[in-house]
Amino acid sequence: MEILIKAARIVDESKDFLGDLYIKDGKIEDFGEDLNYTCKVVDGQGLTLMPSFIDLHVHFREPGYTYKEDLDTGGLAALRGGYTLVNLMGNTNPICSSMEIVEYVLKRGKELDLVDIHQVVSITKDFDGYTLSHLDDLDERVKFISDDGKGIKSNIVMYKAMIKALEKDLTLMIHAEDEDLTPIDYRISENIITIRDIYLSKETGARLHLCHVSTKEAIEEVRRGKAQGVNLTCEVTPHHIALWDNDYKVNPPIRTKEDVDALIEGIIDGTVDAIATDHAPHTGEDKLKGAPGLSGIETAFPVSYTSLVKNGKIDLKKLSKLMSGNPGKIMGVRKGKIEKAYDGDVVLIDLDKEILIDSQKFLSKGKNTPFNGMKLYGQVMMTIKGGEIKYSNKDL
Rounded CA separation 382/379 (Å): 9
Task: Indicate whether 61 and 39 sit together in one domain.
Answer: no
Task: Indicate whether 180 and 242 sit together in one domain.
Answer: yes
- pLDDT at residue number 396: 53
Task: Indicate whether 68 and 130 sit together in one domain.
Answer: yes
The pTM (predicted TM-score) of the whole model is: 0.97
Alpha helices in 183-296 (DSSP H): 186-204, 216-227, 238-242, 257-269, 284-288
Q: What SS3 string covers 341-389?
A: CCECCEEEEEEEEEEECCHHHCCCCCCCCCCCCCEEEEEEEEEEECCEE
Active site residue 43: no
Task: Indicate whether 226 and 149 sit together in one domain.
Answer: yes
Task: Indicate whether 36 and 56 sit together in one domain.
Answer: no
Q: Look at residues 306, 331, 356 and tell me which one is the last residue of a structural domain.
A: 331
Task: Indicate whether 283 and 189 sit together in one domain.
Answer: yes
Total domains in the fold of the chain: 2
Q: Which one is catalytic: 278, 343, 345, 350?
A: 278
Instruction: Name the nearest CA neighbour of 153 among 188, 189, 202, 203.
Output: 189
Task: Indicate whether 251 and 319 sit together in one domain.
Answer: yes
Half-sphere exposure (Cβ direction) of 189: Cα atoms closer than 13 Å? 18
Q: Does residue 315 form part of some domain?
A: yes
Q: Look at residues 290, 307, 331 and tell me which one is the last residue of a structural domain.
A: 331
Q: What is the CATH number of the domain that holds 44?
A: 2.30.40.10
Task: Indicate whether 305 and 358 sit together in one domain.
Answer: no
Q: Look at residues 303, 331, 359 and tell me which one is the last residue of a structural domain.
A: 331
Domain residue limits at 353:
2-49+344-392
Q: Does residue 8 form part of some domain?
A: yes
How many C-beta atoms lie closer than 10 Å to residue 245's C-beta? 10
Q: Does residue 120 form part of some domain?
A: yes
How many C-beta atoms lie closer than 10 Å to residue 110's C-beta? 11
Q: What is the CATH number of the domain that holds 265?
A: 3.20.20.140
Task: Indicate whether 90 and 9 sit together in one domain.
Answer: no
Task: Indicate whether 263 and 182 sit together in one domain.
Answer: yes
Task: Indicate whether 367 and 381 sit together in one domain.
Answer: yes
Q: Does residue 139 form part of some domain?
A: yes
Instruction: Name the nearest CA neighbour of 283 among 358, 211, 355, 359.
Output: 359
Q: Does residue 104 form part of some domain?
A: yes
pLDDT in 10s for each residue of the chain, 396 residues? 899 999 999 999 999 999 999 999 999 999 999 999 999 999 999 999 999 999 999 999 999 999 999 999 999 999 999 999 999 999 999 999 999 999 999 999 999 999 999 999 999 999 999 999 999 999 999 999 999 999 999 999 999 999 999 999 999 999 999 999 999 999 999 999 999 999 999 999 999 999 999 999 999 999 999 999 999 999 999 999 999 999 999 999 999 999 999 999 999 999 999 999 999 999 999 999 999 999 999 999 999 999 999 999 999 999 999 999 999 999 999 999 999 999 999 999 999 999 999 999 999 999 999 999 999 999 999 999 999 999 999 765
Q: Does residue 92 form part of some domain?
A: yes
Q: Does residue 9 form part of some domain?
A: yes
Q: Does residue 338 form part of some domain?
A: no
Task: Indicate whether 16 and 65 sit together in one domain.
Answer: no
